[in-house]
């Protein structure tokens, strides 16, 4: 039993709930948590019971999320580049998953910082396979572009740089 319930299991469990909140939205997530608690307080429940409650509140199927985060070992590893296309007024972002095994499905925030003191703008994209190519509207070249600036995803630290 000691080998099954180790520190990584608890940490990944906490991370999984954190990522589920990101995927669903904070209000829907907490509504689902409250309903799950109300339905199963002092009773036995399974991961599928939890998933079904959370799906009702998310308004969509979350089988993919629970499958990849509860049944797989390892975490994603991302590498990528970005550039600014001044003529098209857009940022071009290329991201690749480099971990071994199947790619993860990842809702992914892209942070766009201007040259001033304004807080970075965050745009969400969805990486559905091993590679993703995204364009994001921007009237001026950003000072910096980052992946997951608010640390929503459990992953290796990404390698992300401006394309020369």
- For residue 1, pLDDT over 70 is answered with no
96-114 pLDDT per residue, tens = 999 999 999 999 999 999 8
Residue that has been written with the tokens 């997530």 in this structure? 29
Sign of CA dihedral 95, 152, 118, 136: positive
Q: Which of these, 132, 92, 140, lies nearest to 116 by C-alpha position?
A: 140
| CA separation for the pair 106, 151 (Å, rounded) | 13
CB 149 within 8 A of CB 111: yes
Instruction: Please report which confidence band the pLDDT of residue 9 belongs to, taking 50, 70 and 90 as the band edges.
Output: low
- For residue 94, pLDDT over 80 is answered with yes
Instruction: Please report which confidence band the pLDDT of residue 8 belongs to, taking 50, 70 and 90 as the band edges.
Output: low
- For residue 10, pLDDT over 70 is answered with no
In this structure, what are the phi and psi dihedrals at residue 56, rounded to the nearest 5 degrees? -60, -40
């Amino acid at each position: 039993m000691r080998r099954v319930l180790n520190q990584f299991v608890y940490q990944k469990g906490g991370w999984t709930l954190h990522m589920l909140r990101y995927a669903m939205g904070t209000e829907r997530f907490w509504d689902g948590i409250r309903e799950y608690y109300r339905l199963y307080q002092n009773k036995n429940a399974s991961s599928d019971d939890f998933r079904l409650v959370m799906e009702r509140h998310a308004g969509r199927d979350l089988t993919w999320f629970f499958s990849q985060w509860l049944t797989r070992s390892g975490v994603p590893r991302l590498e990528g580049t970005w550039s600014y296309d001044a003529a098209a007024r857009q940022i071009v972002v290329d991201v690749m998953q480099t971990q071994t095994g199947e790619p993860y499905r990842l809702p992914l925030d892209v942070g766009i910082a201007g040259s001033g003191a304004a807080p970075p703008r965050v745009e969400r994209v969805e990486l559905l396979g091993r590679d993703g190519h995204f364009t994001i509207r921007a009237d001026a070249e950003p000072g910096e572009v980052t992946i997951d600036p608010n640390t929503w995803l459990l992953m290796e630290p990404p390698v992300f740089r401006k394309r020369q």
